[in-house]
């Protein structure tokens, strides 16, 4: 660390080093205690400190949805959330979305409907769809489209993504 002296007074200006904060997060049912800098995003805590790389870093600006995870059952962009803000929270990532018999029904529907191509956005799409189902606001296929609009698929698999969600939610097709 470099110390800078102020010429007029001789006082030193040592760069401030932020204290790390100790937080506890329950991720996919497992409690983790982490010491993090206050500016560490939840996305970086998941990927860099806990090695849960299923959650993807896309734009890192909250515009693509690749980093969508569930916090206390609600979908959020992990890149826009500081980890220290979620101290004590229950977080579910794509790695935690398993059912008794293996895959979550949405994961199975994504496979059956070919709702992915490159797969990069898929974890965020699936977590967002689970959050959408938890919200209970969807009544139509148009609702699915609108409420999933924060998740970008650069490959253009949108119709298949909507079909997969529609099947799991058992929403009738648009007339």
- Which of 9-23, 60-74, 101-115, 117-131 shows the lowest per-residue confidence on average (mean pLDDT)? 9-23
pLDDT at residue 75 above 90?
yes
Regarding predicted confidence, which is higher, 32 or 5? 32
Q: What pLDDT was estimated at residue 4?
A: 55
Please give the model's pTM, rounded to 2 decimal places. 0.87
Is residue 5 pLDDT above 90, yes or no? no
- Beta-carbon-side half-sphere exposure of residue 21 (alpha carbons within 13 Å): 16
Domains and CATH numbers, the chain: 21-96 (3.10.20.30), 98-169 (1.10.150.120)
Report the pLDDT averaged over residues 113-120: 95
pLDDT score at 1: 47
Considering only CA atoms, which of 25, 152, 17, 147 is closest in space to residue 82?
Answer: 25
Residue 171 has pLDDT above 60, yes or no: yes
d(CA 103, CA 89): 24
Q: What is the dihedral of CA 50, 53, 59, 62, to 10 degrees?
A: -60
- List all residues 6 or more positions away from 10 whose beta carbon is below 8 Å from its beta carbon: none
């Amino acid at each position: 660390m470099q110390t800078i002296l102020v010429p007029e007074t001789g006082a030193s200006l040592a760069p401030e080093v932020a204290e790390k904060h100790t937080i506890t997060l329950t991720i996919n049912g497992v409690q983790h205690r982490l010491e993090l800098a206050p500016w560490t995003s939840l996305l970086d805590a998941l990927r860099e400190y806990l090695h849960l790389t299923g959650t993807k870093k896309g734009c890192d600006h909250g515009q693509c949805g690749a980093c969508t995870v569930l916090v206390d059952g609600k979908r959020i962009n992990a890149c826009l959330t500081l980890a220290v803000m979620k101290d004590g929270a229950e977080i579910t990532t794509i790695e935690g979305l398993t059912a008794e018999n293996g895959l979550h029904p949405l994961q199975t529907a994504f496979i059956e409907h070919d709702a992915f191509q490159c797969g990069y956005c898929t974890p965020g799409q699936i977590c967002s769809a689970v959050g959408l189902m938890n919200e209970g606001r969807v009544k139509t296929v148009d609702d699915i489209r609108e409420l999933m609009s924060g998740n970008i698929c650069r490959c253009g698999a949108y119709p298949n993504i909507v079909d997969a969600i529609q099947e799991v939610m058992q929403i009738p097709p648009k007339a």
